[in-house]
Amino acid sequence: MKDRYNKILELLTKEKKIEVNELSQILGVSNVTIRKDLDALEEKGIIKRGHGYAILANKDDINGRLAYHYEIKKRIAQKAAELIHDGDTIMIESGSCCAILADTIASEKLDVTIVTNSAFIAGYIRDKKNTNVILLGGAYQKDSQVMVGPIVAQCAQNFCVDQLFIGADGYNPRVGFTNSDHLRAQAVRDMAEQAEHIIVLTESEKFNSHGVVPLQLKERIDTIITDDHIPEDIKTHLLSENKTLLTIENK
C-alpha cells in the first residue's frame, strides 16, 4: 500500500492532476482501491480530491510540500530514524522531511518523545500511540503551521537533548545551510542551543539553490542525510569540513 501511495504522489508531482481511471490503469488495481488510497492521502492533507480526479495540495504550505519528492523524503526519514532509539527524547523542527521523520518514528519506534515547534507535526502524528509530543509555544505562522518568536527560545531552554533534526531551503558553501524565513531560521537557532548534535535532512536538489537567510549553524551541524544525487563538489566540500554524510539511493 505504501508503495502505491508513493507512486501516486510521484505521478501527481509530475502531472499536477490525474484521473482515477488513469491511476487505476497505471498501477494495475481497481478504481475502488485507488479511491481508498486517495481518501487516505487526502485525510493526511497531501492531496485534494475532485470528481474523478486528484490534485496536489497547495505547495505554498507544508501539506503540499510533503507530496513533492515524497518517496525520496521517506527514504531520507527512514535513514534518519536509524539514529534514534526507543525511549529517546529528540527535537525536530518544522519542514516536510522532518514531518515524515516524525511519522516514521511514530510508526517504528517506542516511547520516543519529540520536542518540536511544528504544530503541523503535532497534528500529523496525533493518532500514533507510541510517541509523545511536546509542542513549544510561540507566535503561530499559519501557512507553515509553525511556532516562531522569542517564546520558542524560552520554551526550548527547558530541554537538553542529544539530537536536533532540521530541514533546509538551500545551501551555500560559504555560509552553509539556509532558510527562506527569518523567524523560522531564528527558531532553528534557538532549538540548536539545546542540542548536542544537529542533523540536516534534505533532498539533493536543495544544494543547487539557497535561501536568503543563513541558519548560522555551519560549525554546529555534524551530519547531513540526503540522496545520492548530491553534486560531487558539494559532497567533497562537506567531507572536507569533517561532516558525516549519509546518502540514500535516488531511484
Q: Strands (DSSP E) along the chain, which ranges?
A: 17-19, 47-50, 53-56, 89-92, 112-116, 131-135, 139-141, 146-148, 161-166, 170-172, 176-179, 195-201, 213-214, 221-227, 244-248
Strands 244-248 and 221-227: parallel
Measured CA angle at 187 (ends 121, 41), to 5 deg: 20
Looking at domain 70-248, its CATH class is alpha beta
Q: pLDDT tens across 8-47, in order?
A: 877 887 777 899 999 999 999 999 999 999 998 888 777 8
Query: What is the number of H-type helices and E-type strands within the chain?
Result: 10, 15
pTM here is: 0.82
Is 2-57 CATH 1.10.10.10? Answer: yes
Q: pLDDT tens across 67-102, in order?
A: 778 889 999 999 999 999 999 999 999 889 999 999
In the chain, CATH 1.10.10.10 sits at 2-57
In the chain, CATH 3.40.50.1360 sits at 70-248
Residue 47: half-sphere exposure toward Cβ, Cα within 13 Å: 27
